Amino acid sequence: MARLYAVSDLHVAHPENRAIVEGLFPVDEEDWLLLAGDVGELAADVEWVLRLLADRFSTVVWVPGNHELWTHPSDPVRLRGEYRYRYLVDLCPSLGIRTPRTRTRSGPGRVGR
């Protein structure tokens, strides 16, 4: 039976949090995961988490938090605000990640966001 898991505030720049993420696995191959923001402050960390968990869970839905939208001084991705949001969300389709911008069929004849 498929399950829906939800996590937030992973902040994978902290080694102990990164280790927890490395240990996240679904129980069933149909399990979904909702990542509810604050995965990481660096674009590379966000991408690492999304890629890792997309390979493990049937479906991953990611909603950016405020920490993803910061421009950390050490991040080579210097985009700010809406440009940073778009950059990160635009990575998601190639990783198989759903976001608030993903269009999905929500029922007969209806399309939702």
Q: Which residue has the tokens 């700010």?
A: 80
Which one has a higher pLDDT value, 74 or 109?
A: 74
pLDDT for 104: 57
Question: Residue 106 pLDDT more than 60?
Answer: no
Average pLDDT over residues 38-55: 97
Please tell me the predicted confidence (pLDDT) of residue 109: 36
Enter the pTM of the model.
0.87
DSSP 25-69: --SSTT-EEEE-S-S-SSHHHHHHHHHHHHTTSSEEEE---TTTT
* Average pLDDT along the chain: 90
Quote the pLDDT of residue 101: 76
More confident residue, 112 or 21: 21
CA dist 69 and 105 (Å) reads 28
pLDDT above 50 for 57: yes
Residue 113, pLDDT above cutoff 80 = no
